[in-house]
Amino acid sequence: QVALVESGGGLVQAGGSLRLSCAASGRTFSYYTMGWFRQAPGQEREFVTAISSDAVSTYYADSVKGRFTVSRDNAKNTVYLQMNSLKPEDTAVYFCAADASTISVVTTQAQYWGQGTQVTVSS
């Protein structure tokens, strides 16, 4: 069982930056692929990025490549999402998720999900 808690969301102007954190409970955090997803009002939840359990492999949606960076600290049971050059279309609730299967994460079928944190980018 893994419990996930996101933090770091807020209101930022276009072009600005935010860093989201996702803290996980449990001693098996290092076994899981971690992912970030977002959901804007009236839209489906979409994949943003994922990072493998050993942090060797990362995956990004085309819409965030070059602007967002995912990282993790297994000693702190935390995964991060550094978001730079933010755009109004990045406005959404951002969720982190965990699964032992990378395929499950990148296909938005992860087993464990956080409650989300709101990111609002003003123009």
How many C-beta atoms lie closer than 10 Å to residue 119's C-beta?
22
What are 29-54's pLDDT values in tens digits?
A: 999 999 999 999 999 999 999 999 99
108 in Cβ contact with 50 (< 8 Å): no
Q: Give the pLDDT band of residue 26 (cuts 50, 70, 90).
A: confident
Q: What is the mean pLDDT of the chain?
A: 95
Q: Which residues of 55-70 are buried (b: 16+ CB within 10 A; e: fewer)?
A: eeeebbbeebeeebbb
Q: Give the pLDDT band of residue 64 (cuts 50, 70, 90).
A: very high
Q: What is the mean pLDDT of residues 5-29?
A: 95
Structure token digits, residue 28: 């098996």
> What is the reported pLDDT for 68?
98
Alpha-carbon distance of 28 to 31, in angstroms, equals: 6
Question: Amino acid letter at 87?
Answer: K
Structure token digits, residue 36: 């970030």
Reference 54, options 36, 29, 37; nearest CA is 29
Structure token digits, residue 51: 């990072």
Alpha-carbon distance of 16 to 122, in angstroms, equals: 10
How many C-beta atoms lie closer than 10 Å to residue 92's C-beta?
22
Structure token digits, residue 93: 């609730």
Whether residue 108 has pLDDT greater than 80: yes
Alpha-carbon distance of 42 to 46, in angstroms, equals: 12
